[in-house]
Structure 1
């Protein structure tokens, strides 16, 4: 599905922005694409996976139950977000600047009605855009594929321009070799906080995860990462093997890199 709306396919606003002639209807785009695919024969699928990278990975979480609803109960349906488990974590200033961004996204796109109602009834909708809160209310099995040092999150959640106005982390974000000892320590603290947000996955028998410490963003789109260069494997298992074993219920897969505490290039 070609990403086109800026809200991980949750937008649902009737009014058109007259100034820019913009439509905020990502949820309707999602529905239209699925309707067409089902009409082309996907309704006969025995196995179905909803996956995506980055904002598409977040979409795979937020739309997972909706995707499940298109298929009969006999179809094996699961969701595999890649690099989309964006953490509600403190930035280098000690604040939650990125939270304000999600508040604006949800308001602009009218996303609240497309988010899990159990979540939005207990906290503000902007927080329900964060996977750690939304996934608790997703019934369909989800496998989280992510780095604990996701480069996008390091750049835009941990050390964004708002959190780091002087650009002290700019060199470090672009090259790990340029990170100071204190900056590496702060990155390690972010890893710990990120791992803490995974408790809804850890405590579920139907959910799985593959969390390495590669300094990268999204790992299913390149053959070397998906099929496992040695530095991206966990317990000598590739991401592809982990997802496959979990998807077909061969084993419970919850892999976290404990060998590499600091970020590294894979």
Structure 2
């Protein structure tokens, strides 16, 4: 079975790396996961690094489809800084992009740059079949609601004229090797369209029924 990955935490070359590594070390220790991690990873890295996708994915032998935003709102709001470094202004920005200044946007753009280059580096030498759908919407979560996956083109995160659901379907059933990243937008985009929810819901219903 292909796997679908939702979260991609970059561990180095970006602010907050020490805090993220310490957090994952505590997760592994609390749940006793050290012996469950692949030895192909733990023989090269500390166990704390072997839950990060960039070190774990190369050891996955099954086909894998990756779904993520280059501006994942959870990662940016919760994992760019350690909690002790987070300012009220940054919290306001990450909850509403209208409150961000250019320094904040620069941090988000740097996150995108690091994420995309880490992803490219991780999958380029993979021996297993990899597909991916990387958009630029400022959101977290892509598949838990049918509206977001099936109707994703209506909320602004379609790629190659495909919704997330269409892209995964084409890849799963070998209709295409779907590998698409949004390289045109280097700014976080508000793609929710919640201001016009009734219209969005009608478009989704019409799309699904046809």
TM-score, L = length of structure 2: 0.82
For residues 85 and 158 of structure 1, what CA distance do their matches in structure 2 show?
Answer: 13
For residues 106 and 190 of structure 1, what CA distance do their matches in structure 2 show?
Answer: 25
Counterpart of 1:163 in structure 2 is 85
Cα offset, 1:220, TM superposition = 0.9
Cα offset, 1:99, TM superposition = 1.0
2:68 aligned with 1:146: yes
Counterpart of 1:248 in structure 2 is 173
Confirm or deny: 8 A CA contact 2:65 2:130 kept in the other structure: yes
Rate the CA distance shift 1:239–1:170 in 2: closer, same or farther, 3 A.
same
Counterpart of 2:97 in structure 1 is 176
The alignment partner of 2:84 has SS state of: coil
Counterpart of 1:8 in structure 2 is none
Alignment of 1:105-254 (within 5 A): 105-164=27-86, 166-198=87-119, 199-204=121-126, 206-227=129-150, 228-230=152-154, 231-254=156-179
2:18 aligned with 1:96: yes
Cα offset, 1:91, TM superposition = 5.2
For residues 220 and 85 of structure 1, what CA distance do their matches in structure 2 show?
Answer: 15
Which of 74, 77, 80 in structure 1 is aligned with 2:4? 80
Cα offset, 1:90, TM superposition = 5.0
Give 5+ residue unaligned stretches, structure 2.
192-210
Counterpart of 2:186 in structure 1 is 261
For residues 256 and 160 of structure 1, what CA distance do their matches in structure 2 show?
Answer: 28
For residues 178 and 129 of structure 1, what CA distance do their matches in structure 2 show?
Answer: 33
Q: Which moved more, 1:121-130 or 1:218-227?
A: 218-227
Q: CA RMSD in A?
A: 1.7
Structure 1 residues 222-246: Cα deviation after superposition (integer angstroms, max 9, x where no partner): 2232122341101211111111111
The alignment partner of 1:211 has SS state of: strand
For residues 160 and 174 of structure 1, what CA distance do their matches in structure 2 show?
Answer: 17
